[in-house]
A and B are shown apart, each in its own frame.
Chain A
């Protein structure tokens, strides 16, 4: 970090410094910059459709050959094959996986597995960008390079968190984009925007123009990398990424009962929308979204626009009617789907082999250290209810209220230790056994990595406001582990033979437990304890 700070500070001449030291600092900054450019260059591609005269750019973001580009470079949801030119001068075939027409993204996979590992660049943190920070764009503007050597343009971040509506029907919206003054031209579309360290902070996709046609005016927009993260699970799984919506329009305006105050007020609302069901009405003031104070209508559109459908959100509002301003209410719900038009295909999914490759790419971040021998996870619910899951080696014990189940030492099934539920059938015991293998908090590090090997990517989800991947475990594939980008567990999903339902555990701390779509509120999961539980706990009850 310190090095980075010095570098950035040195970018500009210091008028009152020691000239020799200044020159050395500038030259060092230049060297670092050119080295970063040289390092990422092999990952920057030209993306073309066979038989079409145009084309755009893209970037490989994983050594297995996953490529990010704009949806408008692919063009249509029906397109399945693209051609990708790399700076090695070769043209490769690639399969179109997921698309996000709503905010102009697509992910491709390079077909030639023998070329792995492909050169790649990593995604950076777009929220760390500040106006004035230097960035560079790479791509193939005007398809200048017939040998696919990318063009580099350099400039500064002119603005962050810009909301740019789409040309129509809610497609190609840029809800949270980075405005840059580095030249961006036709053909740059889909290409990466890098920070000084050579991390992908955005995907260049559109420009503002005036009277001279579609060429650079120094106002380019890149889709922020942190927005891309929220959709990456779905895109790599080959899905049609869908955005969430509040189904309302809100304006920044004067408060109706206090003309000296301003705020964001609901001005149009679908009568049958989810928020209306939860009690939000026309004229109400929206004060917070996900705990963040809402200060402008654009900000609200940005906060919502970067979230996929199904993301849990909280909305705080003050009911306002003709007479008075009410007390603030907070409602929590999952975002409904924004309808972006007729081409929507919720069933779109890549083939299993591809999704297995995607899972391999994503579980690479799971830390590979020694597994703990034992683990205890305590779920606390309302009215002092607790469920304790314990693991010792391959043995499992579940204490749910007055019911205690212990897996036998030979692994043949579960024995009821206390309580009065009916004896489990072998099939039910086997299913319960899988809880052991599904709950990622019972498995640390190497153990988790092992159970995820051979899994397939189901898509993406949001857990506690962070993007997570849903990885189906080998076997029936229905049991899922949710994984954050850094490889830490985000939750799991399994079919509970005792409760007879599809159970989702989402996040540590104030967890969400969803059973068959219904939220069980008031539950929490304490951070797991990895000290081995006493062997006595697992011994068979004396009978």
Chain B
């Protein structure tokens, strides 16, 4: 006879941070499609609201739209003051405050406290472009709440089928929405709503909205609100201006091949190397797991956060003197940074 012993606990709440790494080892992205998804996964968040009513889901996705902690999502999910939580890609859970909604578009901004973040946010910038029909798109969200904490969100793929105004229904009720909608065949399901629709050249073109039915043909279709139409709302609430994403041609991200052991927490831990990518600049100077990086050129490195901030100041092709501690020895080596590119 088996005896189960149980204890009950309260689940995590408010600004609690978890290790930043995804739990499973993965290869590097190789295609444009894999790269676009990889680069944008960190800009989409999981949102958990209060317990839902039968027709309103208590969970959704959201898009990071400022480095000050603004998250854009649909207002059609069950958000409730003091009960809405935002889970970032690193698995950290944050309490969100609600900003006034945009009733015409059914969108709403949430805000999390940027001082509690361990890593800088990666906001997406809106685009004024409306994609041509047939443009390949990726839709990122949390369909059926399949991903929890640091687990990766879901990505689906399709083409823009139309950008149009149409008469719509949701759950047999007519929907009063008179703006343009981007319609796609990229699967969109409960939980995916509030996520990002992105073109393969990395432009954030739409905010996934609920699956709607055409009241004329009964067909269900994936739809997204063009980000163009959200500009005025975002501009009103984000310090008077929308954060613009730097043009990809201006600042090329560097590739060094170092993965740090970043266990998260309120304070960023010392910059211990967890993994060195094969064939990377770091591998060329024979950096090894468990080495402690203490200096990059003239920047003293006391934490993983300082490492990332210092690294952001370098450009591809630049030489960086890396000072690191291995056991009790301090060593120096010069690493030539490469350009981040499909691998």
Contact = CB atoms under 8 A, between A and B. Distances in A.
A9 B32 contact: yes
B157 A155 contact: yes
Interface stretch (A86-94, A254-262, A383-391, A436-444): A254-262
Contact of B23 (A254, A267, A283, A296): A296
A162 B189 CA distance: 17
A397 interface: no
Contact of A296 (B144, B149, B155): B149
A131 B91 contact: no
A294 B18 CA distance: 11
B26 A130 contact: yes
A219 B189 contact: yes
A268 to B, nearest CB: 5
B266 A219 contact: no
Most buried by B among A9, A158, A252: A158
A271 B16 contact: no
Interface in B138-194: 138, 143-144, 146-158, 186-190
A496 B7 CA distance: 48
B312 to A, nearest CB: 25
B156 A218 contact: yes
Interface string A287-322: 000000111101100000000000000000000000
Contacts of A15: 201
B17 interface: yes
Interface string B177-221: 000000000111110000000001100000000000000000010
Interface string A224-236: 0000000000000
Contacts of A298: 148, 151
Contacts of A338: none
A132 B18 contact: no
Interface stretch (B34-42, B279-287, B324-332): B34-42
B5 interface: yes
A267 B91 contact: no
A208 interface: yes
A5 B33 CA distance: 12
Contacts of B151: 159, 161-162, 296, 298-299
Nearest to A269: B5
Contact of A268 (B6, B19, B265): B6
Given A8-B30, A158-B156, A296 B148 contact: yes
B278 interface: no
A103 interface: no
B152 A218 contact: no
Contacts of A293: 19, 23
B311 interface: no
A36 interface: no
B146 A299 contact: no
B59 interface: no
A162 B24 CA distance: 11
B12 A253 contact: yes
A248 to B, nearest CB: 10
B298 interface: no
A9 B146 contact: no
B7 A208 contact: no
Contacts of B188: 218
A290 to B, nearest CB: 13
A9 B30 contact: yes
Contacts of B32: 9, 11-12, 14
B53 interface: no
CB-CB nearest 4 A-B residue pairs: A218-B187, A132-B34, A8-B31, A299-B23
Interface of A: 5, 8-9, 11-15, 127-128, 130-134, 155-156, 158-162, 179, 181, 208, 210, 212, 217-219, 251-254, 259-262, 265, 267-272, 282-283, 293-296, 298-299
5 contacts: A9-B32, A132-B29, A160-B26, A219-B189, A262-B17
